[in-house]
Chain A
Amino acid sequence: EAQVTQNPRYLITVTGKKLTVTCSQNMNHEYMSWYRQDPGLGLRQIYYSMNVEVTDKGDVPEGYKVSRKEKRNFPLILESPSPNQTSLYFCASSLSGDSPNYEQYFGPGTRLTVT
């Protein structure tokens, strides 16, 4: 089944403890992206990747890192999480990095709580 998977789905952690949220897609998509969703603010883009080894900042990249060493995986790294990073996180992928007109598929979400 074609899908975007995220792990973990739920995570409670403490301030400053490094964590990684994994994202994987099995559709051979070139484009991948991370978003956070907060009440009243909607979805905001954190980082995106047009293809392997190519990443760019979205609107809210502060406090996050990403890497794209292989096409299927796009992990989101929080080196030193803070309470303001408590949010619902979504990973998404799209077929091509050459055109913006392809449908984007979203993962199921990761609910992160930083205490």
Chain B
Amino acid sequence: EPEVTQTPSHQVTQMGQEVILRCVPISNHLYFYWYRQILGQKVEFLVSFYNNEISEKSEIFDDQFSVERPDGSNFTLKIRSTKLEDSAMYFCASSRGLAGSEQYFGPGTRLTVT
């Protein structure tokens, strides 16, 4: 069964450093998403991506964040200058984008900013 994969599983970085989180969505999906989950809190939407551009973003997704689909398979989230409060689990998801279609989530990348 096809699945969403994410690398790395755990990333430790120092405050102010740039990080890139990588995802490989399911191949025939059209919509790609990033969510984050701060420890003990709910899953929060960051951004969705369709047809090579951002289709929605939340207020969390400020200028420090960017997304890219550099080739036909990868989908990346870049945090330009990490802050302590960026420490969270980051989930990538993808969907067919049809009405009512579920989103398939990857296993997540745990980002720890020290």
Say whether A associates with B: no
